[in-house]
């Protein structure tokens, strides 16, 4: 076989590959991201106790809208009783404008041992990015809402009545990429109502270990101005978790 024949055969065999994968081909953008984190602790011997916390966050971001959902779970028990059990579901939908976005948001909390065992909050409003660079992002939100609270049962109030309130919700979401493998974020939220006020701070420090795995330290604190008798105004949660991100 001549060199000319070999060259013709090579071009013939290669042409389908070029047709299937053009030289300027790029993978389509992936609008979906997710984070899953969990931490577990088991103590035996002089102290028998178990604790677990988990968090799942799903985000679907397009040119027009952003859909975000977060679910958190906390559980702790000693050798005799359950000492903590809390579930938190947050849903938010943003519709992007030329400047900022409008949002609808719902948060649903079930806390067996909290000062309020059921807390449902629905709000809407306007948000915008006050800072948006490669390393730093700060988003601000404000809008009206409605809150439902069910106080924990006590000896004095074994069957407490639910409380409702119209609120003004303000929020600031901050994220700072310290360097390629380390990120710090903090979300500060205030809900001002006619009957009660709350302030919540949710912070996290994430350090990538390898590929999509990271170690995360979380700190959550919530202050409630008016609580049932015998309850504390401030609740705090500190977590040490492994986190996996995929997209």
Average pLDDT over residues 47-70: 93
CATH class in words for 39-246: mainly beta
Q: Assess whether pLDDT exceeds 80 at residue 41.
A: no
Q: Assess whether pLDDT exceeds 60 at residue 26.
A: no
Average pLDDT, the chain: 88
* 172, 139 contact by CB (below 8 A): yes
Burial class of residue 51 in the structure, from the number of CB atoms within 10 Å of its CB (0-12 exposed, 13-18 middle, 19+ buried): middle
C-alpha 38, offset from chain centre: 13
What pLDDT sits at residue 157?
83
Percent of the chain with pLDDT over 70: 86
Give the DSSP H or E segment for 15: helix 3-20
Q: Assess whether pLDDT exceeds 70 at residue 3.
A: no
What pLDDT sits at residue 5?
52
9 backbone dihedrals φ, ψ, rounded to 5°: -65, -40
* 130-173 tens-digit pLDDT: 999 989 999 999 999 999 999 998 888 889 999 999 999 999 99
Comparing 5 with 107, the larger pLDDT belongs to 107
The CA-CA-CA angle for residues 13, 15, 19, to 5°, reads: 135
* 162-205 tens-digit pLDDT: 999 999 999 999 999 998 899 999 999 999 999 999 999 999 99
C-alpha 6, offset from chain centre: 60
* 247, 30 contact by CB (below 8 A): yes
What pLDDT sits at residue 240?
94
What pLDDT sits at residue 2?
53
């Amino acid at each position: 076989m001549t060199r000319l024949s070999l060259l013709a055969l090579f071009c013939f065999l290669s042409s389908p590959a070029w047709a299937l994968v053009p030289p300027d081909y790029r993978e389509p953008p992936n609008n979906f991201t997710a984070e899953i984190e969990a931490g577990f602790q088991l103590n035996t011997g002089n102290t028998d106790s178990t604790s677990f916390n988990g968090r799942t966050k799903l985000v679907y971001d397009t040119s027009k809208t952003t859909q975000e959902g977060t679910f958190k779970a906390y559980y702790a028990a000693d050798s005799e009783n359950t000492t903590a059990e809390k579930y938190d579901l947050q849903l938010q939908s943003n519709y992007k404008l030329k400047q900022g976005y409008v949002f609808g948001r719902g948060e649903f909390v079930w806390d067996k041992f909290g000062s309020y065992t059921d807390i449902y909050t629905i709000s809407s409003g306007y948000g915008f990015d006050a800072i948006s660079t490669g390393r730093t992002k700060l988003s601000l939100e404000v809008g009206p809402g409605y809150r439902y609270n069910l106080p924990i049962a006590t000896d004095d109030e074994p069957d407490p009545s639910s409380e409702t309130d119209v609120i003004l919700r303000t929020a600031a979401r901050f994220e700072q990429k310290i360097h390629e493998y380390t990120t710090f974020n903090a979300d500060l939220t205030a809900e001002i109502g006619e009957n009660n006020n709350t302030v919540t701070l949710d912070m996290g420090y994430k350090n990538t270990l390898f590929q999509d795995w990271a170690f995360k330290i979380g700190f959550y604190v919530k202050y409630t101005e008016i609580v049932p008798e015998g309850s504390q105004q401030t609740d705090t949660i500190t977590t040490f978790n492994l986190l996996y991100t995929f997209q």
